[in-house]
């Protein structure tokens, strides 16, 4: 499943793809094609969902030239450039601190987050919902309306329907 997510991310209008691994990092790294990506190993992965966000944002915050990043899920394949492109375009055009896709009537993933919000995420611990964090902390949020449902989230590669594997 991660191979598909990474393959999708390589088509996005981004300068770099960063993958954060936690549990079973060595096995995942050896089983996936992670060429042309930067790899971050999160030693605190068991803490919860805030930990991998801190790991990647800590890395990005060291480069003052990086103004925003796209946060995507490793369990949501089939997020193509047709979704990410409009999000990036809206982020650049609006200057909003966060850009969120709205699939018909529900917000979803991936998220574009400006560097102005990274300190908020860096201070979080445990299980978090990044959409809630953005809603509570972003001074400006731009929604990009998409007239389709989001790509599904899968609990494991085995749960992806056979024709889509």
Strand, helix or coil for residue 69: strand
Q: What pLDDT sits at residue 157?
A: 72
CATH of the domain at 135: 3.90.550.10
pLDDT at position 165, please? Answer: 54
- Please give the average pLDDT of every successive group of 10 residues along the chain, which has 165 residues: 94 96 94 95 96 97 94 95 97 97 95 97 97 96 96 82 62
Of 39, 146, 47, the C-alpha closest to 102 is 146
- Phi, psi of 47, rounded to the nearest 5 degrees: -65, -35
User: β-strands 98-103, 141-146: how paired?
Assistant: parallel
Domain extent for 98:
2-164
pLDDT of amino acid 155: 80
Say what the pLDDT of residue 163 is: 61
The angle at the Cα of 66, spanning 91 to 124, to the nearest 5 degrees, equals 85
- Residue 40: predicted pLDDT: 97
Give the pTM. 0.92
Q: Note the pLDDT of residue 64.
A: 87
Q: Name the domain count of the chain.
A: 1
| Of 117, 120, 85, nearest in space to 101 by CA | 85
Contact 142, 100 (CB under 8 A): yes
Give the torsion through C-alpha atoms of 137, 58, 21, 16, to 10 deg.
Answer: 90
């Amino acid at each position: 499943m991660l191979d598909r997510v990474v393959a999708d991310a390589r088509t996005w209008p981004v300068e770099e793809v960063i993958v954060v691994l936690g549990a079973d990092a060595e096995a995942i790294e050896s089983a996936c094609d992670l060429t042309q990506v930067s790899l971050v190993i999160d030693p605190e992965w068991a803490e919860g969902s805030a930990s991998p966000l801190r790991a990647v944002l800590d890395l990005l915050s060291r480069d003052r030239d990086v103004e925003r990043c796209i946060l995507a899920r490793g369990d949501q394949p089939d997020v193509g450039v047709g979704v990410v492109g409009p999000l990036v375009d809206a982020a650049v055009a609006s200057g909003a601190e966060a850009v969120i896709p709205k699939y018909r009537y529900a917000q979803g993933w991936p998220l574009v987050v400006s560097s102005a919000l990274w300190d908020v995420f860096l201070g979080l611990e445990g299980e978090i919902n990044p959409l809630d964090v953005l809603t509570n902390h972003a001074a400006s949020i731009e929604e990009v309306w998409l007239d389709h449902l989001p790509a599904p989230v899968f609990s494991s590669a085995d749960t992806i329907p056979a024709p889509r594997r």
